Structure 1
Amino acid sequence: MLHANRNGFFYVFDRRDGTLLMAKPFVKNLTWAHQIGYDGRPVKLPNQEPTAKGTKVCPSQDGATNWFSPSFNPATGLYYIQTFEKCSIYTKSDSGEWESGKSYLGGSQRTADDPKPERILKAIDIQTGAIAWTLAQPGPAQSWGGTLSTATGLVIFGSDDGALMAADATTGKPLWTFQTNQTWKASPMTYTFDGRQMIAIAAGSNIIAFAIHD
């Protein structure tokens, strides 16, 4: 089983018994843990607790990735995931005594300016955990679309600037783009109509569909 977690680590498990086979970081900005131990538990790094001045922790509150779908292509052996390279500043504050019916947060969170937030499509080699290629996208790193990989060697995804894009599954080379000017909150899907493979995705209040040429 393959899983890129929002904590910044890519996991491979034996699907028969759940044994952890590998855990490797897949983002550059990762400050909260050094590695994943043989027992599957993170080896935490010190000084990551919120403070009055603010503590920078990476990945950000949004995670290194999130609920949007990854995809896998058995022909390339690559796992495709949309990632966030950004950090959060966590600030601790005195919220006074807890009172029923009132919010009690004890602090706040904001996105750090450094490093500059970035949305990056990454292809991970499932045998080694190495990053085979990356494709950075322009935008504020606030979109929430996933990936779709096809047997024809494509990766379809929503770019952070609002474009629907197709890239070469082996190299990451951009091949096609269609600008929707929407912030993605859905992942692409595929179906067949009249013998042709179609790609569809929700873009804002619209559903758009395209045919993949032979």
Structure 2
Amino acid sequence: WGTGNPGPDWNGEAREGDNLYSDSVIALDADTGELKWHFQFTPHDVHDWDATQIPILIDIEFDGRPRKLMLFPNRNAFFYVLDRVTGEFLRGTPFAKQTWAERIDENGRPIRIPGMLPNEEGVLVYPSINGAANWWSNTYSPRTELLYVVTYDGAETFFIGEDEYVPGELFVGGGADRYVPQETYASMIRALDPRTGDTRWEFSLQPKTQSGLLSTASDLVFGGSVDGYFYALDAVNGTELWRINVGGNVKAAPISYMVGTV
């Protein structure tokens, strides 16, 4: 499962190094609790991105042979493909707008862009504290072999503050200013190809959504939005097929169920 971010959130001076096992996915032996492997997405996280999103497990042919994979679109805006048996890093590609890392290297570590760490004046960084993805569930279709993800292209100004720990008080060491121009923000559903990391299609959502997604064997993707709409998309190309207003903010993920044999 995924782990949270280290503290204090934004001022990393009090916690040098990678801060294992924060911002990581860890694999434990269910019988013994032994750590089998780990992978850290954001070493020394100073943007409160963590790694508590929901991973997707799939079995497909990857780079010419069958692999048991874990798909993890992280809040840091990179889409990771891991071998879930060994924890081997296979691919890391951006799936949303980001300005903090040049790339992910061959070992899975981010190459940071200079000047993007929080400071006292504040630094505007994509993605925002909400992350490029978050707790809402993604969905994978074995028919299209695509992963469907709710994404945010948003920025925030990150700044540092005191890093002294005081018992009983918040230990965050700074903050993030959400009052940034609206043109820095966009919400999308994106269809990602696990083999290449490419975005096959995207569907714009205005306003944003905090609803998870559902894909079906009839090649549909369902989701909801904060303005009360429930919608259906074509899973192959992202075309909107219909939408209805359900009368309230949609934040839960859709489900499918069977009645009798239907």
TM-score interval for Structure 1 and Structure 2 normalised by the shorter chain: 0.7 to 0.9
Residue 100 of structure 2 is matched in structure 1 by 32
Distance 1:114 1:161 in 2: 17
Distance 2:248 2:149 in 1: 20
Residue 164 of structure 1 is matched in structure 2 by 230
TM-score (norm 2): 0.68
Q: 1:104 to 1:155 in 2, by over 3 A?
A: closer
Q: Is residue 22 of structure 1 aligned with residue 88 of structure 2? A: no
Distance 2:99 2:163 in 1: 30
TM-score (norm 1): 0.82
Q: Is residue 73 of structure 1 aligned with residue 141 of structure 2? A: yes
Structure 2: gaps of 5 or more residues? 1-69
What percentage of residue pairs aligned between the two structures are identical? 35
Q: Is residue 153 of structure 1 aligned with residue 219 of structure 2? A: yes
Q: Is residue 187 of structure 1 aligned with residue 253 of structure 2? A: yes
Q: 1:41 to 1:194 in 2, by over 3 A?
A: same
Residue 174 of structure 2 is matched in structure 1 by 107
Decide whether the 8 Å contact of 1:147 with 1:187 is kept in 2.
yes
Distance 2:133 2:229 in 1: 19
Decide whether the 8 Å contact of 2:225 with 2:251 is kept in 1.
no
Distance 1:110 1:58 in 2: 12
What amino acid sits opposite 1:108 in the alignment? G
Residue 154 of structure 2 is matched in structure 1 by 86
Q: Over aligned residues, Cα RMSD in angstroms?
A: 1.9
Alignment of 1:101-140 (within 5 A): 101-103=168-170, 105-111=172-178, 112-113=180-181, 115-139=183-207
Pairwise CA distance, 1:189: 1.1
Structure 1: gaps of 5 or more residues? 197-214
Alignment of 1:51-62 (within 5 A): 51-62=119-130
